[in-house]
Amino acid sequence: MTIHSGPYRGTWNSLAIGLVLDGFNISYANRARKLTTDSLGETGLDYLHAGQDMFVDFVVQEYDAAALQTMIWHQNAVFGMADRSGYSLWDRAKTLVLTACTGASSPETPVPATATFFKTILAPDFDINIALANRERYIPVRLLVLPVHATQATANDPTTAPSVYTSGGAYARPGAITGVTDDCNDIGYFAFA
């Protein structure tokens, strides 16, 4: 057994995120549908797995303003200008890559060495607060991690690593691939470490 620790640096859409206050925190929530009967009211008799949501949270401390703007304002290239509603967040999501800092100042090698989240975007309903004041600006960010299409090397075998499907260098949305006929092996994949 080993206690794992160590700093990471991040890029989003190939742009350096900069210094973060307390690392990158990955969280996820499993979703389930409760099964009930009339005779027992809202008593949960069982639950059906209904997917999961994944997020990466961090607080930027020292950053390139232009790089951060593209992350926290995906609505339009001009900060403060919004596009019409109804566009796909998946289509505007970008890749987040976290890389362990190694070298003389970091004697431990953090695990994993690299974590890639293929499609991330500012999480819906997450409020960004930017203090315009005579003190340093810390900006908390929460990225929603969206799944990309992947297939198991061996049908229905969760012990084999999935292959991420790309077409023309772009990631594909689960369930939205032309020419793939095996929906039983169509899985969503959030990250590769």
- CB 186, CB 180: distance < 8 Å: yes
Tell me which residue of 93, 99, 74 sits closest to 23, measured CA to CA.
Answer: 99
Of the CA atoms within 13 Å of residue 53, those in its CB half-sphere come to 10
pLDDT-based confidence at residue 86 (cuts at 50, 70, 90)? confident
- Whether the predicted pLDDT of 184 surpasses 60: no
Q: Is 14 helix (H, G, I), strand (E, B) or coil?
A: coil
Q: Average of pLDDT values for 163-178?
A: 56
Per-residue pLDDT, 153:
46
pLDDT-based confidence at residue 176 (cuts at 50, 70, 90)? low
- Whether the predicted pLDDT of 158 surpasses 80: no
pLDDT-based confidence at residue 192 (cuts at 50, 70, 90)? low
- Whether the predicted pLDDT of 22 surpasses 70: yes
Query: What is the distance between the alpha carbons of residues 102 and 87, in angstroms, rounded to a whole number?
Result: 40
| pTM score over 0.75 | yes
Bridge partner list, 85 = none
- CB 95, CB 118: distance < 8 Å: yes
Encode 26-49: b = buried (16+ Cβ within 10 Å), e = exposed. Answer: beeeeeeeeeeeeeeeeeeeeeee
Q: Average of pLDDT values for 75-100?
A: 83
Our CA dihedral for 156, 25, 148, 153, rounded to 10 degrees, sits at -30
Q: Is 157 helix (H, G, I), strand (E, B) or coil?
A: coil
Query: What is the distance between the alpha carbons of residues 38 and 169, in angstroms, rounded to a whole number?
Result: 51
Q: Average of pLDDT values for 54-62?
A: 93
